[in-house]
Amino acid sequence: MAAAIEIRGLTKSYGSRPVVDGLSLTVERGSVYGLLGPNGSGKTTTLACTLGLLRPTSGSAHVLGEPAGRVHRLGGRLSVVFDTAISLPGLTALQNLEYVRQLLGHRRGRQAAEVLEAVGLESHARARVRSLSLGQAKRLAIAGALLGEPELLVLDEPLSGLDTLGVRRMLRLFGRLRDEGLTLLLSSHRLVEMESVVTHAGILFEGQLAEDGPLERVLARGEDVHRVEVEQAAEARALLEGVEGLRVEVEEGTDRPPRLALRCGELPVAEVNRRLVEAGFAVSAIELRRESLQTVFERIVDEREGRGAVA
């Protein structure tokens, strides 16, 4: 079975300036692919070219087997929401969804009431869209994309305009859709939140794909970090700063005492623990965690800009 999305050598230039530069990636069916990067990195342009809304300067894109110029043939198999939500402000939330359902001919699959509940807007079903907040309007647009039986959901900046509770609800929804086998392509600059839901990640920087693959492989670009709960963290750091191959920081916390963050390289963490204990420091816990997707991204950016790895 063909991949959900295949992009090969995609370039989009305005004059001599490429906004997207030789991009190639694959979104496998059943995956949640995060197209991630800062604002201005070329994410929305990539989506627009992939969906046939912009003509690329060169390269190609296929969606569910159809070339970009024929995406309209996919009908209800594909649902798309761009960053700016579009709706009919004089109608209620429920009326908007019913209008979309009838316009697109969705007779089977998810219906209006079901998708309203999925995005947490069931209590606003009879509210006029003009009265909804920016975040509620975004959630309504995502609800519309879930109508019927889509195979592929493409969302551009799906968390923009959402408050903390709205973000949490959307991430849970994306996880549930992933578990149901729906394929998602999520374009976002919010790497911290996306890490919790994507199965694959493509990091876009200045129009080029800096990293791409399963999330675990992308995270492997980072380093292992041992976080050490120890009394007198600043003094413990001073003890360890001269140890060859060891990098140590003190992480402050608002709801916990300061702790050490160790990047040990080839040095066994047991050796670090021994030095602390022999020096009289009380070590209460050592936790191993891999660096976050945000930190990996910052490392990649620094490498691209020639500044070396993040300390």
Pairing label, strands 224-230, 259-263 = antiparallel
For residue range 88-104, list pLDDT tens digits in order.
899 999 999 999 888 88
C-alpha 237/C-alpha 262 separation (Å) is: 10
CB proximity list for 176: less than 8 A, separation 6 or greater: none
Residue 218 near residue 296 (C-beta atoms within 8 A): yes
Share of the chain above pLDDT 90, in %: 72
C-alpha 264/C-alpha 289 separation (Å) is: 12
> pLDDT at position 307, please?
54
Residue 142 near residue 155 (C-beta atoms within 8 A): yes
Q: 113-117, 184-188, 206-210, 252-256 — which is least confidently predicted? A: 252-256
Sorted by where each begins, the domain ranges of the chain are 5-214, 224-290
C-alpha 51/C-alpha 61 separation (Å) is: 8
Among candidate residues 222, 247, 245, 225, the one with its CA nearest the CA of residue 300 = 222
- Which H, E and C letters describe the chain, residue by residue? CCCCEEEEEEEEEECCEEEEEEEEEEECCCCEEEEECCCCCCHHHHHHHHCCCCCCCEEEEEECCEEHHHHHHHHHHEEEECCCCCCCCCCEHHHHHHHHHHHHCCCCCECHHHHHHHCCCHHHCCCEHHHCCHHHHHHHHHHHHHCECCCEEEEECCCCCCCHHHHHHHHHHHHHHHHCCCEEEEEECCHHHHCCCCCEEEEEECCEEEEEEEHHHHHCCCCEEEEEEECCHHHHHHHHCCCCCCEEEEECCCCCCCEEEEECCCCCHHHHHHHHHHCCCCEEEEEEEECCHHHHHHHHHHHHCCCCCCC
For residue range 254-290, list pLDDT tens digits in order.
667 889 989 888 889 999 999 999 999 999 999 888 7
CATH code of domain 224-290? 3.30.70.2250
CATH code of domain 5-214? 3.40.50.300
- Full-model pTM: 0.82
Q: Is the pLDDT of residue 305 over 80?
A: no
